[in-house]
Structure 1
Amino acid sequence: MKHISILLPDLETGGAQRIMLLLSREFSRRGLQVEIVVLKTGGPLYNTIPEGVNLTLLHANGQGLRFALSSALRLAGWMRQTRTDALLSSLRGTNLLAILTRSLLKAHLRLVIREAASVSKTATGLRLQAMRWLYPCADCTIAINPVMKEELTTCLGIPAAQTVFIPNPVDINWLRKKARAAITLPWPKDKEKKIVVSVGRLIPEKDFPTLLRAFALQPASLKARLIIVGEGPEQKNIELLIKELGLDESVHLAGFDDNPWRWMASAQLFVLSSQAEGFPNALMEALVLGLPAIVTR
């Protein structure tokens, strides 16, 4: 039986983590031995590891440079003893760590990395130089859209033969089943009041302030309500803006939910207000559920 390992920095609620969990479930369903290797302990997705998938926690600790050194040492220890056939890494810092550790150890495992953000727009300085130096050493680099695939060659010098475009997957049947789960809305049911939903981490890149300011401009006759599903470091600022705009009665912050699709199923409209997206998973999932969508450019 082939053994594949998936490397993640943590089990927080990011899109990359969700995609890797989805892939692990499908790999396992197809008969592969699957292991998820996580550098940092904890995170809301800890309890969502698919059945049949092994979880290895490396317990890296500290912050900044200390965390990087701890991660490198623990990953090196894992690489020395693993019998995996291939390692799939996602997220930029984890990719660089995996490439460097494998190169120093001369470990005989196939390494595939996934780049989920535009290199030309998000990589600068020392991080960009490190990517130019290390990314070509991976056996294969996955880009999640065609433009990003081209950037892997033009910006990082990776031979085109070592790159591949693979869009993020959606398990349609599983998603629709999850969306049927029961949910209690924060307001009494009212057919005249439509529900708008947005899903994402509460971080600057998702630009929820723009969504809230736009929502505050709606005519009173629309009587719409807004639900934002997600958590993150911008929560306090978003809560203050909701009060400032007088939206306390019409906006609900649902927080983290490992089944955000049931909120989508209860809504009549999905909105994505991100400043940039490599591949908008939440938008794709909303469309799968038949939800009309409004997206910023």
Structure 2
Amino acid sequence: MKKVALIIPTLGGGGAERTAVLLANGFVNAGLETYVIAVNLAGEKSKLKAELSPAVHLVDLACGQVKYMTRPLVAWLKQVQPDALISTMTHTNIMVYWAKQLSGIKTRLICRETSTASVNLKHRTGLKKWLLQSAMRWVYQRCDVLVPVSQGVADDMQQYLGTALPKTHVIYDPVITPELYQLAQEAVEEPWFQPERSIPVIVAAGRLTEAKNYPLLLHAFAQLIQRTPAHLFILGEGEQRAELESLIHTLGLQQYVALPGFRANPFAYMAKADVYVMSSKWEGLPGALIQALALKLNIVSTDCPSGPREILEQGRYGVLVPNQDQAALSDALFKVLQGDIQTDRAQHPEQVYGLDAITQAYLALI
């Protein structure tokens, strides 16, 4: 029986963490001895632990941060000697590569890249930018397989790293599962979502971080409710909560916007929404957008790098608006709510983004 290990910073509830859990469960079902290795599982960083199959071996390196993971990971690699490592996220990929080299064991390294290199490098200047760019170039030319989660991520990486990456295989995230449709049918108690409601509800889902650009959404929503009644329900938790709560108060939106935090079953809310909205500045492959597609929702999304244009097929399956354009976002939401814009519904997206299909794609690389 082959042994495979998925390596992730935490199991704290983000899209990359959910993908690791889904892949781990898929590998177990395919008969692999499967490990999930996390850098830190303390407190809120283990939210998704319960979603792992009991057959998955969960390993907590308990080293706090990615930069401290090398020593405990080297020890684990020497002891277990897995046949394949699947690492996720830029800094984790870099550290896992060096841990593999230091361990001296022969194992296949698959690096998953979930974000755009241009964004990772944008916030760095001088020596820090050069060091990260050099490390990414070195590792991604030498790992056994590089897996960008979208073609947009792959194209961006090649452009910004300025080098050919011949071992690249684009594999989407397995964000559509049979359970998704079952969970979507569950009832929710919030009055905004009840069938007899008279005010439409708009749902967004994702961590409260800079990338999601919720300030843009709040400003666009403030414009929207000057034209038509609506509620906005933003699922997710993150470091921008205090800032967003303050902005909601400043804009006078307390009665119209809810920040309920993390929900184990976001699909029950999404499925009952009148519109799903994504306001991100950047993405890799936005899983919640794909899930909204699977639930056949009305969708409005910024045309950010990368993923939305690819997922929505240039606007066939949802409305794309210019990135960071508040007025365009507000106007698109208004027109969709009024029924002035209608888009097609994707047929059988699980054939592209389903767990079975994605598991098989990874098995072919292991």
Same topology, TM > 0.5: yes
Match of 1:76, SS? helix
Cα RMSD over matched residues?
1.9
In structure 2, the CA distance between the partners of 1:73 and 1:167, relative to structure 1 (3 Å rule), is: same
1:80 aligns with 2:85: no
Amino acid at match of 2:290: M
In structure 1, C-alpha distance between the alignment counterparts of 2:185 and 2:136, rounded to whole Å: 42
Alignment of 1:211-222 (within 5 A): 211-219=217-225, 222=228
Q: How does 1:185-264 map to 2 (within 5 A)?
A: 185-187=190-192, 189=194, 190-219=196-225, 222-264=228-270
Are the counterparts in 2 of residues 143 and 164 from structure 1 also a CA contact under 8 Å?
Answer: yes
SS of equivalent to 1:165: coil
Which residue identity does 1:35 align to in structure 2?
Y
8 A Cα contact 1:197 1:267, kept in partner = yes
Taking the aligned partners of 2:157 and 2:211, their CA distance within structure 1 comes to 22
Say how many residue pairs are matched.
292
Deviation at 1:227, TM superposition (A): 0.4
271, 289, 292: which one aligns with 2:298: 292
1:266–1:151 distance in 2 versus 1, CA, 3 Å: closer
Residue 224 of structure 2 aligns to a residue whose secondary structure is coil
Shift of 1:184: 1.2
Assess if the C-alpha contact under 8 Å between 1:136 and 1:157 holds in 2.
no
Provide the residue aligned with 1:177 in structure 2: 182
Match of 1:3 in 2: 3
Give the letter for the 1:34 counterpart.
T
Give the match's secondary structure for 2:112: strand
Give 1:284's aligned amino acid.
I
TM-score, normalised relative to structure 1? 0.92
Query: Aligned pair 1:56/2:67, yes or no?
Result: no
Quickly say closer, same or farther: Cα 1:11–1:56, change in 2 above 3 A: same
Distance apart, 1:93 and its partner CA: 1.0
- Per-residue CA deviations over 1:251-285 (Å, capped at 9, x if unaligned) read 11110112111110121110000001111111110
Deviation at 1:182, TM superposition (A): 2.5
CA distance in 1, matches of 2:35, 2:130: 34
SS of equivalent residue, structure 2 residue 204: strand
Distance, in Å, in 2 between the alignment partners of 1:255 and 1:186 is 17
How much identity, in percent, do the aligned residues show?
A: 33
Q: Gaps (5+ residues) in structure 1?
A: none
2:171 to 163, 166, 172: 166
For the Cα contact (< 8 Å) 2:75–2:103, is it kept in 1? no
SS in 2 for 1:164: coil
- 1:156, CA displacement in angstroms? 3.9
TM-score normalized by the length of structure 2? 0.75
Counterparts in 2 of 1:188 and 1:138: CA distance versus 1, 3 Å: closer
Structure 2 residue ranges without an equivalent (≥5): 122-128, 304-366
- Contact 1:99/1:135 (<8 A) preserved: no
Report if aligned partners of 2:203, 2:235 keep a CA contact under 8 Å in 1: yes
Conservation of the 8 A alpha-carbon contact between 1:193 and 1:222: no
Q: Distance in 2 between matches of 1:155 and 1:237?
A: 32
CA shift for structure 1 position 188: 7.9
Alignment partner of 1:46 out of 18, 36, 49? 49
> C-alpha displacement at 1:153, in angstroms?
4.4
